[in-house]
Amino acid sequence: MADKYLVEPDVEFIKDLQKLGGDTLKKCFQCATCSVACPISPDNKPFPRKEMIAASWGLKDRLVGNADVWLCHNCGDCTALCPRGAKPGDVLGAVRSYAITEYAEPKWLGKMVNDPKKLPVLLLIPVIIFLVLGLVLKIFGVDWLNFSPAGEEIAHSKFFSTWLVDMIFVPLSLWTVAIFALGLKRFISDIHENALNEGKTDKEKIDAVGFVKALGRVIPTILKHNKFTECGENQERATSHLMVFYSFIGLFIVTAIFFVVLYVFQIHGPYQQINPVKWLANVSGVALVIGSFLMIKERLAKTDETSVYKDWYLLGLVLGLGLTGMLTEMTRLGGAAGISYTLYFIHLVFVFNLFAFLPFSKLAHLVYRTVAMAYAEYAGRK
Amino acid sequence: MAENSGTILVVGGGISGLTVALEAAETGYEVFLVEKNPYLGGRVAQLNQYFPKLCPPTCGLEINFRRIKDNPRIKVFTLAEVEEVHGKPGAYDVSLKINPRYVNENCTCCGECAAVCETEISNEFNFGMNKTKGAYLPFEMAFPARYVISPQIIGTEDAKRCKEACKYDAVDLDAEAKTLNLKVGSVVWTTGWEPYDASKIDNLGFGRYPNIITNMMMERLASPNGPTKGKILRPSDNKEPESFVFVQCAGSRDENHLPYCSYICCMASLKHATYIRERYPDAKIYIFYIDLRAPGQRYEKFYKNIKADENIFLIKGKVAEVEEAENGNVTVIAENAVTGEKIKQTAEMVVLATGMQPTTAAKKLPADLKYNMDGFIINDFDKGGMFAAGCANKPADVVTSNQSATGMALKAIQTLKN
């Protein structure tokens, strides 16, 4: 560490963190209780005490590209023991939220995703895309969006063709991947530079093979939510988070299988309920609804934890996704065609939101935290 | 309506109360000094040494006791508590409950009653670290110099034995609590402080591990009249510890406990370091702190001397966790906020620098007084008549308490003059 360090506070950065849920950050008096209270903080350069002073001094460069803020799982053990009510857990949450919008381009879209006033616009974007694309295709004689689907059997593809769905969502997935790829390129280089500056690693360069191996080693930890369960204060949260986490994995598997079934085996849905893949879909859907409902309930019950728009946007979206998905299926089986088609449309709007804005929303943590954990493993943080 | 009275009531016979009583009486005013314990001297009496000069408490208290003894204007009530206060500045009606001591003024402190008494009771003067007989002298220089018979043995054979053993007819087992009504013109509350209950600080392990003690327990251990006769021995096995950890701000400056700085704990721990250095020149002492506060030039000098000592290590970082180590040792965990490393320091004894909580935090006084959020009495000088001095008003060391006591003695006198 240099003997002299000129602090150049970024006041706007401090204000932004305060708005993003870190309004208590200035209360910290650097007693370092939090670094010890944290059950998952390493022994060498532990967090979050050093992050608290960096936040207080507006040292943006020490926080945004700092992998440690992602190692934190916001369990709240630090906040519970904090003698000043500075809520380090919430401050780190705010830093993560800031970092997400910093790494996801275009930045204006990130701003929109985090602005409650822009929510109607976000919901309107998929509606417009669906309708315009469907109507334009009609002009060319391709009838993939049919507002009066006929026939006895309710099949959502008769209303909103699977081809149209994929025509929108396959490129959308690529867009998400591309934004993440661009963000990660900067992110990985930043966290490595930060680790070198702060003496958190002895690795000079990132070796790709070693990094991928480290990633392999942290995957089981993530799958088992080991870091979550080390938590003292907020342990019940691990259950609801696991439910949502596995339901997304389940639904991803279901989507992948049916994608293959459709394109390789040319078999169209709806698929029968006795199909084991359908079981997985149903179980996942129910888990998604219950898990996200529990998460909302737990968040409302925790009065010492700050919840801001970014939290509610994601939780609302996930619950909405689960509910509309399950209700679409139930109304289809119950024969309520009109309601079912409407719900399906809303469901697609939610799915679009989740996919398109994934790199800009709080859900991006699934990528950044995974990478940060892999990096910590690679760098030998202990 | 009560008539105006020229007398001052002082509630609490610790260093502040003694000072108020003496300052007022020596300028010619009548004083009632009320103390709930069977002895005067309060917390200072429990110390091994006290600031600023590291005198033993005998040094300051003895001269004060002498002054009280010689001053006919001071009337002392021990084992007494104020039950009610009514009236206005200049004219208060006070009712006092005086609990029986069961020993009258014939007592010569011969100790025969204690010798025959078989029952042993927890010695609260030593924070329960040893036991005392059911008939006891609170400490050698207790004032009034008279034995006390604990209510716990009243009605037992032991009590009878004590009475029979007394050659001076000083044991009066039939004594009963009585109520006394006093008329006073002003009241000074010097009700002092309690050490914060360390067992409430979950993460610091007090009560879980025997070798974690509090700073006031350290005073008793170091004190020649303490449970170990001044040897600092650890509770689990009476070993002379070779290493010590001090945990500063144990419960102070903490919203979950006492939100304020208790003012004395930093200096107390630095002072304890000198106790240890005297006794065990090779012992290693680790002091974990958030900020070390050594107010004023004298304390600053004291701190600088400690800092220069090569066996004393000052580490910036609050201890947030403790765990059991081998042989009864304790490991404390903190982050060194200067180097950014998590430290695990094992020591043979751990001292929690617990803070002071006003006595009035737990139980409000039976008088029309204002308190701040932490239970300290707020002085309302516009209203006047009743004042708080010393640690009843704010956390303070002996010097500051005495300054405050002198000031409030003057306020009490001015109330009478008006």
Residue type, B312: I
Domains plus CATH for chain B? 7-99+177-194+357-417 (3.50.50.60), 112-165 (no CATH), 197-354 (3.50.50.60)
**pLDDT given for residue A2 in this prediction:** 54
Q: Does B338 touch chain A (CB under 8 A)?
A: no
Higher pLDDT, A271 or B222: B222
What is the mean pLDDT of the segment spanning B169-188?
95
Share of chain B above pLDDT 90, in %: 96
Q: Hey, is the C-beta of B203 within 8 angstroms of any chain A C-beta?
A: yes
Place B3 in a pLDDT band, splitting at 50, 70 and 90: low
B256/A45 Cβ within 8 A: no
What is the reported pLDDT for A161?
Answer: 83
Instruction: Express as a percent the part of chain A with pLDDT over 90.
Output: 66
Judge whether A30 is closer than 8 Å to chain B, CB to CB: yes
Residue contact B290–A44, C-beta within 8 A: no
Please check the confidence at residue B17 and state whether its pLDDT lies above 90. Answer: yes
Q: Determine contact: B281 vs chain A, CB below 8 A.
A: no
Q: DSSP letters along B218-240, please?
A: HHHHHSTTSTTTT----TTT---
Contact map slice: A 33-92 vs B, CB within 8 A:
33-37, 41-46, 49-50, 81-85
The answer to whether A49 contacts B256, with C-beta atoms less than 8 Å apart, is no
Model confidence at B197, in pLDDT bands (50, 70, 90)? Answer: very high
Q: State how far the Cα of A330 lies from the Cα of A349, in Å rounded to an integer.
A: 19
Percent of chain A predicted with pLDDT > 70: 99
Over range A58-66, report the average pLDDT: 94
pLDDT band at A358 (very low <50, low <70, confident <90, very high): very high
| Tokens at A100, concatenated | 């997400």
ω into A359 cis (within 30 of 0)? no
Could you tell me if A288 and A315 are in contact, meaning their C-beta atoms sit under 8 angstroms apart? no
pLDDT at A123 over 70: yes
Q: Give the span between the Cα atoms of B405 and B12, in whole angstroms.
A: 12
Q: Are B117 and B161 spatial neighbours (Cβ–Cβ below 8 Å)?
A: yes
Asked whether the beta carbons of residue A36 and residue B340 sit closer than 8 angstroms, the reply is no
Closest CA to B313 of B333, B288, B292, B350: B288
Query: What phi and psi, each to the nearest 5 degrees, are found at residue B370?
Result: -105, 145
Helix axes B265-279, B296-308, angle to 10 degrees: 40
Chains A and B form CB pairs within 8 A to the count of: 66
Mean pLDDT of A360-370: 94
Mean pLDDT of chain A: 91
With CB atoms and an 8 Å threshold, state whether A35 touches B318: no
Is a pLDDT exceeding 70 seen at residue B195? yes
Q: Does residue A3 surpass a pLDDT of 80? A: no
Tell me the domains of chain A and their CATH numbers. 11-104 (1.10.1060.10), 108-379 (no CATH)
Contact A36 B253 (CB under 8 A): no
Q: Across all residues in chain B, what is the average pLDDT?
A: 95
Tens digit of pLDDT for each residue in A271-325?
888 888 989 999 999 999 999 999 999 999 888 888 889 999 999 999 999 999 9
pLDDT at B418: 64
**Taking CB atoms and an 8 Å limit, are B254 and A85 in contact across chains?**
no
State the pLDDT at residue A265. 87
Whether the pLDDT of residue A1 is over 90: the answer is no
- Contact across the interface for B290 and A31, Cβ inside 8 Å: yes
User: CB-based contact (8 Å) between B202 and chain A?
Assistant: no
Q: Smallest Cβ distance to B253: which of A32, A45, A83? A: A83
A223 vs A248: CA distance, rounded Å: 12
Predicted-complex ipTM score = 0.88
Distance from CA of B257 to the nearest CA of A (A): 8
Three-state DSSP at A305 gives coil
User: What was the pLDDT predicted at B1?
Assistant: 44
Using 50, 70 and 90 to split pLDDT, how confident is the model at B373?
Answer: very high
Total count of residues recorded for chain B: 418
| C-alpha span between A348 and A125 (Å, rounded) | 12
| Predicted pLDDT at B5 | 79
pLDDT band at A338 (very low <50, low <70, confident <90, very high): confident
User: Regarding predicted confidence, which is higher, B216 or A202?
Assistant: B216
Reported as a pLDDT band with limits 50, 70 and 90, residue A95 is: very high
Contact B393, B193 (CB under 8 A): no
Residue with tokens 């917390």: B43
- Residues of chain B with Cβ-Cβ distance to A43 below 8 Å are 341-342
Q: Are strands B193-195 and B370-371 parallel, antiparallel or unpaired?
A: unpaired
How is residue B364 annotated by DSSP?
Answer: -
pLDDT of A252 strictly over 70: yes
pLDDT band (50, 70, 90) for residue B82: very high
Q: What pLDDT score was predicted for residue B12?
A: 97
pLDDT at A268: 79
pLDDT at A148: 76
**Residue among A91, A112, A62 nearest A360 (CA):** A112
Angle at B306 between CA B302 and CA B308, to 5 degrees: 120
Distance from CA of A367 to the nearest CA of B (A): 28
Residue-wise pLDDT tens digits, B101-158: 999 999 999 999 999 999 999 999 999 999 999 999 999 899 999 999 999 999 999 9
CB contact under 8 A, A32 and B255: no
Taking the CA atoms of A178, A92, A241 and A331 in sequence, report the sign of the dihedral they define: negative
